[in-house]
Amino acid sequence: MNENKVAIITGSGQGIGKGIAERLGKDGFTIVISDINEESANRTSLELIEKGIESSSFVANVSKKEDLVSLVDQTVEKYGNVDVFVNNAGIDQVDSILNITEEDLQRIFQINVFGTLFGIQAAAVQMKKQGTGGKIINACSIAGHRAYSLLGAYSATKFAVKAWTQTAAQELASSKITVNAYCPGIVGTSMWDRIDEGMGEYMGLEKGQAFEKFAEGITLGRTQEPADVANFVSYLASPDSDYMTGQAVLIDGGILFG
């Protein structure tokens, strides 16, 4: 299955992106690991190769459109096609609404919002050229369904990702390109280490307490692993999801409903 199909995952040197890369690699895709961090991108790609998965790594900063165009070009030069593009890279920011600065806002929007749009554009241009359809998959969040205290800027970026997903789905459907998003809850990656620290400072909590407080609301009684997200992304990347587009789906263990 998926022989000769190529998946690019941004921000896949670690965390959820790495989990997605491992799962899509198992599903038979050739995997392009891309990250702003060259060292982690190379390491993850080598790990996949050691598991028998065809893989390469390319450095790209998603906040620069030319990097994403070049990422797609380099992939096509090496493998001939792009079938799945996962806009996974994203950053967090913890701040109260009164303290968010213009500089902070520009940084997080440049990566989470502009970066996702640049990824959609670069992938769609290539997929349209190929004429065989494709799957564009974006990283949203529970914070794209409801905004959270101290995560105002981050939540705003994830609401925007949901908007890109809906618009791109409508505009690209005639080219047989589906566009969907995954919305995880609380995944124990380095992103949550930073959020835990930031919230801890604001709320006077010890290390780990903000994470635990958020985790209390999970119906299934445990926080998420990257593999929990990757299992769902595997479906979004497969023909089984061909009749689904424009959706930002909660995969959060039951934090939010509806």
Ligand X SMILES: NC(=O)C1=CN([C@@H]2O[C@H](COP(=O)(O)OP(=O)(O)OC[C@H]3O[C@@H](n4cnc5c(N)ncnc54)[C@H](O)[C@@H]3O)[C@@H](O)[C@H]2O)C=CC1
The catalytic residue positions are 154
Identified binder of ligand X from the candidate list 7, 139, 177, 248, rule CB under 6 A = 139
Residue type for position 253: G
Integer Cα distance of 58 and 35 in angstroms:
7
Sites for ligand X among residues 185-214 (CB under 6 A): 186-187, 189-192
Nearer to ligand CC(=O)C(C)=O, 143 or 236 (CB): 143
User: Is position 14 an interface residue for ligand CC(=O)C(C)=O (rule: CB under 6 A)?
Assistant: no
Beta strand 6-10 with 177-184 is: unpaired
The residue count for binding ligand X (CB under 6 A) is 29
Would you say 35 is a known binding-site residue? Answer: yes
User: Is position 143 an interface residue for ligand CC(=O)C(C)=O (rule: CB under 6 A)?
Assistant: yes
Which ranges in the chain belong to alpha helices (H)? 15-26, 38-50, 65-79, 102-108, 115-130, 152-172, 190-203, 209-215, 226-236
Identified binder of ligand X from the candidate list 5, 6, 13, 228, rule CB under 6 A = 13
Would you say 158 is a known binding-site residue? Answer: yes
- Contacts for 252 with CB less than 8 Å, ≥ 6 apart: 142, 183, 184, 185, 186, 218, 224
User: Is position 139 an interface residue for ligand CC(=O)C(C)=O (rule: CB under 6 A)?
Assistant: no
Identified binder of ligand X from the candidate list 56, 63, 75, 155, rule CB under 6 A = 63
Beta strand 6-10 with 55-59 is: unpaired
List Cα–Cα distances, 43 to 14, 128, 155, 189, 220, in angstroms: 9, 32, 31, 17, 33
- Least spacing, CB of residue 143 vs ligand CC(=O)C(C)=O, in Å: 4
Phi-psi region for residue 176, left (φ > 0), alpha (ψ -120 to 50) or beta? left
Which residue's CB comes closest to ligand CC(=O)C(C)=O?
141
Nearer to ligand CC(=O)C(C)=O, 31 or 187 (CB): 187
Residue 230, token pair as written in the block: 């990757």
Task: Specify the stretch interacting with ligand X by CB under 6 A; choose among 14-22, 25-33, 101-109, 164-172.
Answer: 14-22
Nearer to ligand X, 124 or 151 (CB): 151
DSSP state of 82: -
Extract the annotated binding site.
14-16, 35, 88, 154, 158, 184-189
Judged by the rule CB under 6 A, the positions of this chain that interact with ligand CC(=O)C(C)=O are 92, 141-143, 148, 186, 191, 195
